[in-house]
Chain A
């Protein structure tokens, strides 16, 4: 049973960089799937941020692309999100997840709330 767990600071200052890590257990990232990040502002809908394949190929939401970097560390079975120049609009619950375009996003972390405030 695959499990995903987000970790990282819950509070980030405006203009700084949000950094989160997702640790995967029960499945090797190297075995396949795309690994991605989705966020949800409190009380609002879901927004896909970006995804990465174990080989390192990535694709990002065009609206966030200039600020987002997703990377993978197969030796630690982790993947990470960096979002630069954050503002209050980036306050959200951030989920890491596993999926494919054809089989949907079938495994999710529990989510972590990140607040942007000085």
Chain B
């Protein structure tokens, strides 16, 4: 079973700054099956990125994803006040088939 480890656990930044969030897999993951989500308090998660680098519908272009193999990154180029939330990475594995989430990174206002 693949384990996803996100870092840092908490990231404190100011609006306007650049955020870099990491997701590391315990073994190689297909880039096609790596996604990122944003979750705000009391809300369901929202899909940001799928296929490691494709933005979901309606997601601003300040959000970008990259990476391959075991190391993936979510970058928010210029933080807006509404971007402060918890972010999760997720992968789909084929053996056995199923999904795994990382433990999350909390992005908080500094």
Query: Which residues of the other chain, B, contact A73 by a CB distance below 8 angstroms?
Result: none
Query: Which residues of the other chain, A, contact B51 by a CB distance below 8 angstroms?
Result: 102-104
Residue B26 at the chain A interface, CB threshold 8 Å? no
Give Cα A95–Cα B99 distance, bound, in whole angstroms.
14
Q: Mark A76-118, 1 if CB is under 8 A from B, else 0.
A: 0000000000000000000101010111111011110000000
Contact A110 B44 (CB under 8 A): yes
Residue A48 at the chain B interface, CB threshold 8 Å? yes
Question: What residue in chain B is nearest A111 (Cβ atoms)?
Answer: B44
Residue A33 at the chain B interface, CB threshold 8 Å? no
Contact A104 B96 (CB under 8 A): no
Contact B50 A102 (CB under 8 A): yes
Contact A62 B98 (CB under 8 A): yes
Main secondary structure of the interface of B (DSSP, over half): strand
Give Cα A46–Cα B103 distance, bound, in whole angstroms.
7
Contact B101 A47 (CB under 8 A): yes
- Assuming A59-B96, A101-B92, A104-B90, is B103 touching A45 (CB within 8 A)? yes
Query: Which residues of the other chain, A, contact B44 by a CB distance below 8 angstroms?
Result: 95, 97, 108-111
- Assuming A47-B101, A48-B101, A111-B44, is B1 touching A105 (CB within 8 A)? no
Give Cα A104–Cα B103 distance, bound, in whole angstroms.
17
- Assuming A46-B45, A62-B1, A101-B92, is B56 touching A106 (CB within 8 A)? yes
Give Cα A46–Cα B38 distance, bound, in whole angstroms.
12
Report B78 CB to chain A, min CB distance, Å: 24
Give Cα A9–Cα B6 distance, bound, in whole angstroms.
34
Report B13 CB to chain A, min CB distance, Å: 21
Contact B32 A105 (CB under 8 A): no
**Which residues between 53 and 110 of chain B lie within 8 Å of chain A, taking CB atoms?**
56-57, 88, 90, 92, 96-104
Contact A101 B33 (CB under 8 A): yes
Query: Which residues of the other chain, B, contact A101 by a CB distance below 8 angstroms?
Result: 32-33, 92
